[in-house]
Structures are given as C-alpha cells and as structure tokens.
Structure 1
Amino acid sequence: MSENESGYGNAAELPLRERKKRATRQRISNVASALFRERGFEQVSVAEVARAAEVSTMTVFNYFPRKEDLFLDRIPEAVEVFSGAVRHRAPDETPLAALRRLALELLDRRHPLAGPDRGFPDFWEVVADSPALRARGREALEEIENALAESIAETAPDTLDPALTAALTVAAYRTVYVTTARRVFAGEPAESLVDDHRARVCAAFDALERALTPA
C-alpha cells in the first residue's frame, strides 16, 4: 500500500527469520507499487513484479495470494490492528473507547491507516484507475468489519449487536477518511488537515457512543 514498512507488530522483537520474511514481503510490495504507479495496475503482470524484485513468481504468491494485495498490502495489518485493539483493550475499556484510542494513536504517528498523507494522491489514483483494486478495497472493508464484529462478540458479550457496532464503526471511520481524502485531492496539504481530521474522528466516535450505548 505504501513504500513505508508495514507497521503491525514490533519488528525489532521478532526472530531473525520472521524479520527477513517481512523485509522480503515489503521489498516485493515496494517494487510492485513502483511498477503499478509507473504503468498502471492492469498493465503489470505478477511475473514482471517477480523479475523486478529478483524472486520467483511462486515466492510472490507465497506472500501475496492475490495480485491486488501487492498494492493493497496493508489489508492484513488493518484487520489485525483494529480487531486487536478490541481484543487487547484494558478490562475497564469499552470496544468503542479502544477503537477511538487506536484511531487517535495512528493519527499521532501519521500512520497510513489513520488518514491521507503526502503520498496519498499518487496511491489512490492507481486504485481509482483499476476496477480490480477498487473491488479488493471494498472486500477489505468487509474483512475489517467481520473481524471487528467477531472480536466484539468474543470480548464484550453484553454488546447489544456486535455486527451493527462493527458496521457503524467502519462506516464512520471511512467517512472521516474519505472527507479528508477529498480535500487532499483538491490540493490542501495533508499536514494542514490533521487537527480537523482529529476533531472529526472524535465527533464520529461521540456519535457512535450516543447511538450504541444503551439508555
């Protein structure tokens, strides 16, 4: 998804073999992303990515089961990060509070999952030009929503409707993200929108709390 190293998990604490695997995965994704930006997603084959990354086609598919995942490479991270925030929250913290905290922490770190950054327009232009990538993006939202619903159901069984909570949370997060994205596409510097983005994240979670907290 970006040329930055994927951020889920603490890489420094991983065994050497796992660190090497992550480095290989990131290198393949970076090579693929550069080719897709240069020529378009549909015009680049997996075999070309493999040659440019100096690995076999089988190796590419070992790391990325689908071609689309070479570019949208943060999907597993998004699923893990958002569902993990619910699963590993403090005993006195609600799922929505944990997700709010996560959203603000990601924004403070300028993480790509938090909102558009300086490389955003180039990235999403590739997605916009590819029906396959757009379809994979929609599937990714469903994967995140399903993982969230499962984590809420398992760790907060008193939640009235875990599936509804997950669906509304994903929709709210996406709406805030898309609003900022449109402004970046219109030419506003991403960094100048951070405070407004933060305020809209908080407003979205305030609305979710009001809508989903039993009276």
Structure 2
Amino acid sequence: MAEGLRERKKQRTRQALFDAAMRLFAEQGYERTTVAEIAAAAEVSTKTLFNYFASKDEMVFALREQRMNLVADTIDERGPDDGPVDVLARIAERLLADALVGYGEAGLAFTAVPVRLAMTVPELQAKALLLMFDAQREWVRALTKAFPDELDPLTAAAAVGSLMGTLQMTALASFERGDSSAEIVAHLRSVVGIAMNGIRQLERS
C-alpha cells in the first residue's frame, strides 16, 4: 500500500512539473523559461525537478514513452478479425483520446504545445526528428510482426508515415491558427479519415 501511495505521489509530481513547463513555454517561450521557474510553478524545488527530468528538452518529449506504450498495447490487443487498417484507426482514436485525458476542453490545445515547440525551436528540431523516425520504425516493426501475411515493411512504412505525418502537421497548423480544442479534435478526426482512405488503398494493392 505504501509503495502504491509513493508511486502515485511521484506520478502527480511529474505531471505537475510537465503541466507547469508547458504552461510557461506557451506563455513566455521555451528559451526564456528557466528550470527554476518551472519548479517554482509546480511548487517543488529545483533539485526535485531534476529527479524527474534531466533538462528542459526532456520535458518537451515527456509524453513519447506513454504514447509509444499506447500504440504497442493497441496492436497487442487486436482482435482475431482486425486487420492493419482497423488497428491503425484505433491507434489514431486512442492517441486523440489520450491527449484529452486530464485536461477537459483545453486538452488537445494544451498537449499540442510540445508538438509546436519541437517543430519551431531550433535546438529541439534535430532531436524531434530523430525521435519521430525512431517512433515510426517501432510502429512499422510492430505492425509487420503483427500482420506478417498482410504487410511487408515498405507498405507498413507508407501507412505509418501517412498517418503520423497527417496527425502531426494538422495538429501544428490548427494549433498555430488559434483553433479551439474542439476545432482541433474535429480537424484531426476529419484528416484521419482522409489518411485512412489512402491506407486502405495500400492494403488492397
């Protein structure tokens, strides 16, 4: 019981630090925000912050592991009648739902902050590209392993690239335009449909 309480406290502290960082990055910019300011906003010491994040850039990419686990779990939980298109559509929907968890109506706009920073802050762009390519390779490997008779690596790569690129670029464009979270969700769900239509063509080819 005590171990469970400690773990939940750690999760709350990590979440508070992430929330504070994203809020300050959005309000005053990534470069102008200091680690000390983030710690103060989360009501912890700077030393405590470094127990959870080694640097500011690590905060920007903090959701990556969570999202990759979600993708892996969705593939593993596929049903006997599910095909690659079904699984990819479910992944897209779960990623959108995950972005909203804990933030209500402001959810997607808030969690889009790391996407915008990764694509616009020069010192983050190189790492963002490497992490994106690594994520795509992990998706491709997992999908070809799950559907060895239906997907070859090239087809899986085309499908994953289409879906990931659609989600990332649409979220960024919609966020920068100042759309509300409801509008962002609507745009993303709409373009997911477009991406999935193209992926279905790959599946039939």
Q: Which TM-score band (shorter chain)?
A: 0.7 to 0.9
Q: Percent identity?
A: 27
The 1:37/1:201 distance shift into structure 2, 3 A limit, reads: closer
The 1:55–1:161 alpha-carbon spacing in structure 2 relative to 1, beyond 3 Å, is farther
Q: TM-score, normalised on structure 1?
A: 0.70
Q: Is the contact made by 1:32 and 1:70 (CA closer than 8 Å) also made in structure 2?
A: yes
Q: Report the alpha carbon displacement of residue 76 of structure 1 after superposing the two structures with TM.
A: 1.2
Residue 37 in 1 paired to residue 26 in 2?
yes
Distance 1:121 1:62, change over 3 A: closer
Match of 2:135 in 1: 144
The answer as to whether partners of 1:95 and 1:156 remain within 8 angstroms in 2 is yes
* Structure 2 length-normalised TM: 0.73
Provide structure 1 residue ranges, at least 5 long, that are not aligned to the other structure: 1-13
Contact 1:37 1:123 in 2 (8 A): no
Report the equivalent of 1:198: 189
In 2, Cα distance between equivalents of 1:196 and 1:184: 11
- How many residue pairs get matched? 197
Alpha carbons of structure 1 residues 85 and 65: separation in structure 2 relative to 1, 3 Å? farther
> Map of 1:1-215 to 2, 5 A cutoff?
15-50=4-39, 52-53=41-42, 54-57=44-47, 59-107=48-96, 109=97, 111=99, 117-119=108-110, 126-127=117-118, 129-162=120-153, 164-166=155-157, 168-179=159-170, 181-192=172-183, 194-213=185-204, 215=205
Cα 1:45–1:170, aligned 2, differ >3 Å: closer, same or farther?
A: same
Work out the CA distance in 1 between the residues paired with 2:165 and 2:9: 33
- 2:104 is aligned to none
Aligned pair in 2 of structure 1 residues 133, 191: CA closer, same or farther (>3 Å)?
A: same
Unaligned stretches of 5+ residues in structure 2: 102-106
Letter matched to residue 203 of structure 1: I
Please say if residues 86 and 98 of structure 1, whose CA atoms lie closer than 8 Å, have aligned partners that are also in contact.
yes
Q: Report the AA paired with residue 32 of structure 1.
A: A
Alignment check: 8 A CA contact 2:143 2:151 kept: no
Separation of aligned partners in 1, 2:51 and 2:34:
16
**Quick one: distance in 2 between partners of 1:106 and 1:16?**
27
TM superposition shift of 1:48: 4.9
Query: Alpha carbons of 1:40 and 1:200: their partners in 2 closer, same or farther (altered >3 Å)?
Result: closer
Q: Tell me by how many angstroms 1:122 deviates.
A: 6.1
CA contact (8 A) 2:155 2:202 kept: no
Contact 2:109-2:184 within 8 A present in 1 as well: no
Please give the root-mean-square deviation of Cα atoms over the aligned residues, in Å: 3.4
Over 3 Å counting, the alpha-carbon distance change for 1:73 and 1:163 in structure 2 is farther
